[in-house]
Amino acid sequence: MSAHIGVTGLAVMGANLARNLARNGFTVALHNRSVGKTDTLLEKHGHEGDFVRTESLEELVNSLEKPRRVLIMVKAGKPVDSVIEQLEPLLEAGDIIIDAGNSHYEDTRRREAALAKKDLHFVGVGVSGGEEGALNGPSIMPGGSKESYEALGPLLEKISAKVDGEPCCAWVGTDGAGHFVKMVHNGIEYADMQVIGEAFDLLRSGAGIEPAEQSKIFTEWNKGELSSFLIEISAEVLGHVDAKTGKPFVDVVVDAAGQKGTGRWTVISALELGSPVSGIAESVFARALSSQADQRKLGQELLAGEEAAVEIPETFVEDVRQALYASKLVSYAQGLDMLTSAAKEYNWDLKLDEIASLWRAGCIIRAELLKDITKAYAADEKPANLLFAPAFTKAIADALPAWRRVVATAVQLGIPVPVFSSSLAYYDGLRRKRVAAALIQGQRDLFGAHTYGRVDAEGTFHTLWGEDKSEIEAVDTH
């Protein structure tokens, strides 16, 4: 029996993707470096569909129909290169290697270019949704050549999450585009989680609302415009009671957030692209600061708070909800704007409506909001920024008074809200007619003759600061 697809790397993610493929009627050839994982999968789940057991990559490749599709789901980094190296001599022109792990998009670009020279397709696929998604329907963001998608797309679409019967899987762009889009998805996820965390801290430390009560508030919020997987699970976590102590679960968890690196990758890439993803960056830094246990301990002893006595208004819970919504919108706007910058840099034809639609189900940031974002970018006139789409311009304007009140209150109470406040600063930075950059240009021209533009004339200018301070036209030295 020829298998439709081979999966190598059968730890939790690879095993679940293989089972998802088999449950959807595809014959799946299985391989793992150590054969134990293959046998465990077959023992526990062999009845779920048609599997072909193989013990070597050669056997795996020989069991596949052509063009061969080999999905790699091994540890990201060097192991992926090692598996590709072993597969390459076993494959023929037109065959497809798929990397569905969390690889860096630059690695994917490198691997794609190298394999294209050998007439092999290499497809970097962003997969979101964790273990559960991999098994029951993830959000899938494939890159690679359009041609390879013809042979691969139908399988991936079949196993992906669905919204009203539509698959949350579509070809997003060439070479590393799939992994790039997945990376930015994770960046938005960091910001989305942080804004929810900031809302929790404000309600707890500002208004004294206990976790159990907050769980009910979050459940209510989940019925409206904030409706999303992350709000839903936050309600569940907040309502959970620690069996050992009887305390709210969140009170017994160490407040040091971990990270596996995709948020950091997003920010590094944004810095290189000059893309202002301040909310995502603040959320990565907030996790880093939370984990500086020693310094935080000293900070608690040494640093003054000087918090003001602030009266918490009756509208506080609703104000926080609106501030959360506005900050979340900014995080999405920044992430999508980063995709626009990357599309220019890497020559990708990224369709933001399609990308937003891929995130509507299956992935961690799935949210009602994504339906409206999809609509905004599907319009004939694409907004230059999500916040300029009429529906969102209005939504954020409606939330603005509450957003300002909440940030001001947080500052007075000494409660850090880095994403609430940086998102508001981004919003004001976009909106204001004049920003502080004029003085910065003056400083740069004075210390480094970096030149400046004038509001009333074309061209580039330099002031002779060390001489008579007269102005000359200058060659732009940026």
Residues interacting with ligand NAP, by CB under 6 A? Answer: 9-14, 32-34, 37, 73-76, 79, 82-83, 101-102, 127-130
Q: Choosing from 189, 198, 282, 328, which is the catalytic residue?
A: 189
Q: How far is the CB of 99 from ligand NAP (least distance, A)?
A: 8
Give the residue with the Cβ less far from ligand NAP, 76 or 391. 76
Checking 374-382 for CB contacts under 8 A at 24+ apart, the result is 377/336, 377/351, 377/352, 377/353, 378/353, 382/352
Token output for 115 = 């394999």
Nearer to ligand NAP, 12 or 256 (CB): 12
Q: Which one, of 230, 162, 222, 169, lies nearest residue 195 by Cα?
A: 230
Is residue 10 a known part of a binding site?
Answer: yes
Nearest approach in angstroms of CB 324 to ligand NAP is 24
CA distances to 13, 32, 76, 404 from 83, rounded to whole Å, are 17, 11, 11, 52
Q: Is 385 annotated as a binding residue?
A: no
Q: Is 260 known as a binding-site position? A: yes
> Tokens 């670009």 identify what position?
109
**14 labelled binding-site residue:** yes
Annotated catalytic residue, options 182, 198, 282, 351: 182
* Residue closer to ligand NAP, measured from CB, 122 or 426: 122
CA 64 centroid distance within chain: 34
Give whichever of 9 and 142 is closer to ligand NAP, judged by the CB atom: 9
Contact 263, 285 (CB under 8 A): no
* Residue closer to ligand NAP (CB basis): 74 or 396: 74
The amino acid at residue 7 is V
Query: What is the dihedral sign for C-alpha 59, 64, 67, 70?
Result: negative
Q: Quick count: other Cβ atoms within 10 Å of Cβ 146?
A: 11
Q: How far apart are CA 339 and CA 478, in angstroms?
A: 25
d(CA 156, CA 161) in angstroms, rounded, equals: 10
Sheet holding 457-463, edge to edge: 452-454, 457-463, 471-473
Least spacing, CB of residue 115 vs ligand NAP, in Å: 18
Residue 389 in marked binding region: no
Q: Which residues contact 165 (CB under 8 A, 6 or more apart)?
A: none
Distance CA 425, CA 407 (A): 10
Which helix or strand (DSSP H or E) is residue 319 part of? helix 316-346
Minimum separation from the CB atom of position 284 to ligand NAP (A): 17
The least CB distance from residue 411 to ligand NAP, in Å, is 36
Q: Catalytic annotation on 182? A: yes
Give the residue with the Cβ less far from ligand NAP, 86 or 205. Answer: 86
Q: Indicate the residue among 83 and 396 with the shorter CB distance to ligand NAP.
A: 83
How far, in Å, are 237, 325, 370 from residue 225 at the CA level?
Answer: 20, 8, 10
Q: Is 190 flagged in the annotation as binding?
A: yes
- Tell whether residue 478 is among the known ligand binding residues: no
Is position 83 annotated in a ligand binding site? no
Smallest gap from residue 389 Cβ to ligand NAP (A): 29
Nearest-approach distance from CB 387 to ligand NAP, in angstroms: 29
Shortest Cβ contact with ligand NAP: which residue?
101
Of 99, 52, 92, 32, whose CA–CA distance to 68 is shortest? 92
Query: Tokens representing 237?
Result: 């976590």
Could you confirm whether 162 is annotated as catalytic? no
**Is 244 marked as binding a ligand?**
no
Q: Which residues are annotated as a binding site?
A: 9-14, 32-34, 74-76, 102, 128-130, 185-186, 190, 260, 287, 444, 450
Q: Which residues are annotated as a binding site for NADP(+)?
A: 9-14, 32-34, 74-76, 102
Q: Which residues are annotated as a binding site for substrate?
A: 102, 128-130, 185-186, 190, 260, 287, 444, 450
Positions annotated as catalytic residues are 182, 189
